[in-house]
Amino acid sequence: MKKTGELYAGKAKTVHTTEDPDLLVLEFRDDTSAFDGERVEQLARKGRVNNQFNGYVMEKLQAAGVATHFVKQLSPNESLVRNLQMIPVECVVRNRAAGSLCRRLGIAEGQELTPPVFEFFLKNDALHDPMINDSHIATFGWASEHEVQQMKDLTLQVNSVLQALFANGGMILVDYKLEFGRFKDKIVLGDEFSPDGCRLWDAQTLEKMDKDRFRQNLGNVIESYENVGQRIGIQFE
Ligand code: ADP
Ligand code: UDP
């Protein structure tokens, strides 16, 4: 599928139009950002690793009945996806306490969360992605009540599929962020699932294997992403 123009250059991916208005090319770049884009670095191989990681996970989710935007991988760092009308909220599920939950509520990192916590955040870097709830989404018209319910149901369905996938690789899925969009009036999972947007800990040692390695300057960031991928069965090109 030929790229016909650049639609949007985000912090980590560039979105290209194609000859088919229903399809886009997502190009995964090596740019790595943290703290709402305040810190940006290039990490060699990151684009390739996250593109292949995302394709593998999206196919697993598709097989489990979750509608996703993923069509196929086009090259090591590019994928063909359905063109979604993105909903500007981030859906986060947490199985263990980490990150902003600990900072906000004073909960100790690692505490098991039963049932898992579900949170919405507004996708807005300038405002530092503030936490929002169903009422804000309804009042400001970011999504309908039915869409809110679908996003919650789908995000929790993803949890059961991916907790098992990572547990089989000896890892704990601590938390993750998903983004959804509309495709012909249907709610579809978009964006990416990669170690950039989730937390994964080694089940034995609790070593961090995700983007916290970048945020906390722990080193071996991409080596760790590759290790996670290999443990769940990905053979990187
Ligand atoms: P950010 O916008 O947070 O800087 P990225 O660099 O990952 O993020 O940019 C990718 C952009 O593409 C995001 O804004 C995301 O919402 C959007 N996007 C992801 N998947 C799709 C899709 N299938 N259709 C349309 N837009 C998408
Ligand atoms: N996350 C993300 N993009 C964001 C905000 C969060 O991918 O803009 C992911 C993050 O990697 C983690 C989960 O969502 O896996 C929960 O993040 P948290 O609210 O703890 O924020 P953080 O501590 O990362 O700022």
Segment 117-152, tens digit of pLDDT:
999 999 999 999 999 999 999 999 999 999 999 999
What is the pLDDT at residue 5? Answer: 97
What is the pLDDT at residue 225? Answer: 98
Same domain, 15 and 108: no
- Nearest-atom index, ligand 1, CA of 83: 24
Write out the H or E segment, with its range, that includes residue 33.
Answer: strand 31-34
Within-domain flag for 161: yes
What is the pLDDT at residue 153? Answer: 98
Residues in CB range of 139: below 8 A, 6 or more apart: none
Q: 69: CA distance to ligand 1 center in Å?
A: 11
Banded pLDDT at 30 (limits 50, 70, 90): very high
Residue 227 has pLDDT above 90, yes or no: yes
Within-domain flag for 191: yes
Calculate what percentage of the chain has a pLDDT beyond 90: 98
Q: Which amino acid is at 224?
A: S
* Contact (CB, 8 A) for 108 and 99: no
Within-domain flag for 229: no
Check if 188 has its Cβ closer than 6 Å to any atom of ligand 1: no
Cα separation, 127 vs 87, whole angstroms? 17
User: Using omega within 30 degrees of 0 as the cis cutoff, is the peptide bond preceding 115 cis?
Assistant: yes
Residue 154 has pLDDT above 90, yes or no: yes
Q: Which residue has the tokens 């059961």?
A: 160
Within-domain flag for 27: yes
- What's the residue count for the chain? 237
Within-domain flag for 128: yes
Same domain, 14 and 128: no
Within-domain flag for 228: no
Structure confidence by residue, pLDDT tens digits, 37-88? 899 999 999 999 999 999 999 999 999 999 999 999 999 999 999 999 999 9
How distant is the alpha carbon of residue 41 from its chain centre? 19
How distant is the alpha carbon of residue 132 from its chain centre? 18
Same domain, 60 and 114: no
* Contact (CB, 8 A) for 36 and 28: no
42, β-bridge pairs: 31
Same domain, 64 and 89: no
Same domain, 101 and 178: yes
Within-domain flag for 52: yes
Domain of 48, in residue numbers: 3-82
Q: 191: CA distance to ligand 1 center in Å?
A: 5
Residue 36 has pLDDT above 90, yes or no: no
Q: Which amino acid is at 170?
A: G
Structure confidence by residue, pLDDT tens digits, 100-116? 999 999 999 999 999 99
Within-domain flag for 69: yes
Residue 1 has pLDDT above 90, yes or no: no
CATH number, domain containing residue 207: 3.30.470.20
